[in-house]
Structures are given as C-alpha cells and as structure tokens.
Amino acid sequence: MSKLPLVEGLLRYTNENNIPFAMPGHKGGQGFLSTDIGKEIYSNILKIDITEVDGVDNLHNPDGIIKEAEELLSRFYKSRKSYFLVNGSTSGNLAMIFSAFSEGDKVIVERNCHRSIFNGILMRKLKPIYIRNKISNKFNAPMSVDMEHFLSLIEDNKDAKGIIITYPNYYGVCPDLKFIINEAQKYNMKVLVDSAHGAHFGVHDALPESPVKLGADMVVMSCHKTLSSLTQTAYLHVGENVDIEKVDFYVSAFLSTSPSYMLMASMDYGRYWIEEYGRKGYEELIKIANIFRNKINKLKFLHVLDSDDIYNIDLSRYVINLNKGLSGHKLLEYLRSRKIQAEMSDASNVVLIFSPFNKEQDFETLYKVLSECNVELLKEEQRIIYKLHIPKAELMPWQIVDMKKRSVFINEAEGKVCGKAVVPYPPGIPLVNPGEIIDKTALDMIRYYVENKVTILGIDNEHITVVE
C-alpha cells in the first residue's frame, strides 16, 4: 500500500499530460505562464501561502490590498460591491440566499439548480416554488427554464420575495435573463443568479452578456471554472437592491477564517487577465472553436451544438451530441484513453470546457482523435429522458431534516412524503425533492429510469427514503 496515495495518484494523473478541456480555467498553469506577473505568481506560489501578517490585509475586514483588489473586481464587473470567495460558488450561493431572504420567504427557483442552492433553501427555511426546465428530446439534455411556466408561476406567486436562476447551465445554455429580471422588477422580487459557469461572460460580443450588466441583484461566479484562477475560487457581485451589511455578515460567516492568499492572489490575477487580455483571448478562442466545430461536425456520428441549435449558448465550450444509440460516457472514456480530458458526460453528450489557454494544437488533436474513433465502441442502448414533472410539496425541505425516515420498496411509496431527493442522471434534475409527495407520475418515471438502468441518486436497490 502506498504511503502517499493521494499525492501519488495526483502525480500519476499530471504525468499523463492530458489535454485540459475541463476546469480549472488556467489549464495546468498556462494562464499564469502567459504573462510576466503570472509567471512570478507561479514561481512564488508556495511562498505566498502566508497568514495575515502586517501589510497583507484581512479578507474578513478588508481595508488594504484585499479591499483594493475587490474594488478593481467590482469596477470590472460593474457591480455595486464584489467579494472574493475562498469556498467556491457553493459558499456564494449560500451567502446570497441567506442575505437576500429571511426565514419563511417564498422564492421562485429553477428546478435544475445546483445542490448548493437546494441546501441554501433548506438551511434558510425558505418555501421554494419550482420553475420547470425544458428538456431537449433532440439532444437528450436539460435546457434552460420553461418561460411559459415561469410566467404562470410569477402570476400565481406575486408574494414571492425573489427568483433564483442558473445562467448558464453546465451545457452553456442561458435563459433570457433580461426578460426574467424585467418581470421580477414588476413585482419587486430580487433576482439571484448562479453564474458559476459564466465568469467570462460579456468580455466578447460572441459570448452571452454578463448577468451583472443585465441587472441581476446578486451574482455568483466560479472564477476557477473559466478564468485563470485556482480551484475553489469564486466571486460574489452585489447590486443596488441589496442590504450590504447582511451580505458582509453572511459572506464572512460562510468563509474560512484562514483564507488562502494563494487563492486570493489567483482571484486578483483572474480578474486582471480577463480585464487586460480577455477580449482578444476570447476572440481567438471562439474563432478557433468555430473553425474546429465546423470540421468536427463533418464527422457522421456526432454534432457539436451551435447557436443555430440553441439561441443563447456559450460558444467557448463544446457540447458534443452523439447520434442515437451512442453513449456520451463511452466517448468521454475514449477521449481520456487518448489523453483528452473532457469535463463531463451524460447518456448522449460530452461537455468540453475551453479557455483562452487552450492551444490550437489541442483542437487539432481533438479533431484527429474524434476522426479516429471506432464508433462501434460507443454503442449503447439508448436511454431517452422522460418528461419533467414537479410533485406537490406537503412539507418544506427544512422540515424533513429532523424527521424519522425509512426506506420502502418503490411500489409501496405512492402517497408518501419523500425524505431524500431522487435525482436521475441524466438529466440531473430532481424528480422528487424532500417534502414532496411521491405521486403516481413520479413513480412511473422512477420505474422507467430503474428499468432503463439510468443512474439515479436517492434510489437504492429499488428502495426510496420516505418520512415515517
């Protein structure tokens, strides 16, 4: 047995030298090595791992260099105030939900949101009203919010205090955020945006607009996903309609009291790079990505999604959609066997995330590897995503936490209250959330997924957790 299993595992991985079409955005340090100041950070990275000594300021009460860096961040993104977060967008989503809402508030929230949003809703004891997401049967993938459903919900829930939206989702698909914000403003609702995948938005015309510029009240961005910043880093941006004192308190409450200067320095650098070089960098990246999308799309077994397929989509990532009967998971494995690291796969798609630090050669290799793919190896019985359904809530998610639960066979679960979220992958959208009644439609869908051997969290050996 190894004495250093984690270290050796990581070193083994880095020695594979895979092409990084996954997070983080600095792509194996290339983002730092692209500038003189970045090279200095790179070569001093362990030396800047210090504690709060004189002259280096304090993230929990910034009045020196951290304050200056956060002001530059705010100026660049055009927010009222911006924060560095050392615990990822996860901490940002929690801080944003806690500072924007009070216990018992009703919120309208996209059903396909990240689990940190579900957790925030639960811990803040909110009443969620879910907006259905659209699902593309053509691409067998979750799309953005169903606007008709959103409009009917807002009409029926004018007392809601706010709306929580993901912009973009993992597939780079964005809703019409401007429209959502305009609707919300009519009823004095706050708009909170999880833009974990959108820190680069707005730097180039070919990218979707920045959610801060579109007028969202609060926006969270994982700079580590797309910018030259270390994993676990994120930004929170706050607009006019928000109580800054509360945000200060909750940001501080959800962050470590020993924030890493390596992480903070990388956040300052991530902002610096995108501000100084981002427009040109994305100009070149999108040009190359478009050229290779056209080439790759000549291959007969797949289709890389484009703005002709989906109107508001991030062109700095590829969603490779496979022909019916071929598996996205198997394509991801094949790419890895050929030293290409993709970000994620589902039954029919593979997502690749690029940044300006990917080289043209990386795209050449991708094209070559895809052209050489033995399509026979990707064959798998097709699993089509079922329709979306949101069951009625009997209890709020937070009420479930301390209740006694038990596991029952799915055929005996009808009418019982769900004790643990049931989430099939794909599409990764909860079928039943804690507190919701497990109804016949939900059960039919669960059986469908079980029979089709789709990975489904919350179902164990055809058993489901219910409240006693």
Question: Among residues 79, 222, 349, 355, which is the contact residue for ligand PLP, using CB under 6 A?
Answer: 222
| Residue 88 sits in the site that holds ligand PLP (CB under 6 A) | yes
Q: Which is nearer to ligand PLP, 38 or 92 (CB)?
A: 92
Task: Count Cβ neighbours within 10 Å for each residue of 142-165 and write b for 16 or more, e otherwise.
Answer: bbbbbeebbeebbeebeebbbbbb
| Residue 79 sits in the site that holds ligand PLP (CB under 6 A) | no
Residue type, 104: G
Q: Quote the CA–CA distance of 129 and 189 in Å, as a whole number.
A: 14
- Scanning 32-40, 82-90, 183-191, 375-383 for contacts with ligand PLP by CB under 6 A, the matching segment is 82-90
Beta carbon of residue 220, minimum distance to ligand PLP (angstroms, whole number): 7
Residue 441 main-chain phi, psi, to 5 deg: -60, -45
Residue 369 main-chain phi, psi, to 5 deg: -65, -40
Question: Among residues 74, 79, 82, 116, which is the contact residue for ligand PLP, using CB under 6 A?
Answer: 116
Q: Which is nearer to ligand PLP, 260 or 465 (CB)?
A: 260
Q: What is the 3-state secondary structure (H, E, C) of 154-183?
A: HHHCCCCCEEEEECCCCCCECCCHHHHHHH
Q: Quote the CA–CA distance of 249 and 163 in Å, as a whole number.
A: 22
In angstroms, what CA-CA distances link 215 with 148, 182, 209, 226? 22, 9, 11, 22
- Range 249-278, binding ligand PLP (CB under 6 A): none
In angstroms, what CA-CA distances link 133 with 31, 40, 49, 149, 315? 35, 45, 43, 9, 21
| Residue 349 sits in the site that holds ligand PLP (CB under 6 A) | no
Q: Which is nearer to ligand PLP, 120 or 278 (CB)?
A: 120
Q: For strands 340-342 and 317-322, give the pairing.
A: unpaired
| Residue 430 sits in the site that holds ligand PLP (CB under 6 A) | no
Beta carbon of residue 271, minimum distance to ligand PLP (angstroms, whole number): 16
Beta carbon of residue 200, minimum distance to ligand PLP (angstroms, whole number): 14
Taking the mean position of all CA atoms in its chain, how far away is CA 235?
13
CB atoms within 10 A of CB 180: 26
Q: Where are the beta strands (DSSP E) in 49-180?
A: 81-85, 106-110, 127-131, 133-136, 141-145, 162-166
Beta carbon of residue 258, minimum distance to ligand PLP (angstroms, whole number): 18
Q: Which is nearer to ligand PLP, 194 or 217 (CB)?
A: 194
Question: Among residues 66, 145, 234, 454, which is the contact residue for ligand PLP, using CB under 6 A?
Answer: 234
- Scanning 86-94, 204-212, 357-365, 426-434 for contacts with ligand PLP by CB under 6 A, the matching segment is 86-94
| Residue 89 sits in the site that holds ligand PLP (CB under 6 A) | yes
Question: Binders of ligand PLP: how many residues, by CB under 6 A?
Answer: 11
Q: Which is nearer to ligand PLP, 79 or 89 (CB)?
A: 89
Q: Which is nearer to ligand PLP, 90 or 345 (CB)?
A: 90
**Tokens 């609702």 identify what position?**
189
- Range 156-195, binding ligand PLP (CB under 6 A): 166, 170, 194
Q: Which residue is nearest to ligand PLP (CB)?
A: 88
| Residue 133 sits in the site that holds ligand PLP (CB under 6 A) | no
Residues that bind ligand PLP (CB under 6 A): 88-90, 114, 116, 166, 170, 194, 196, 222, 234
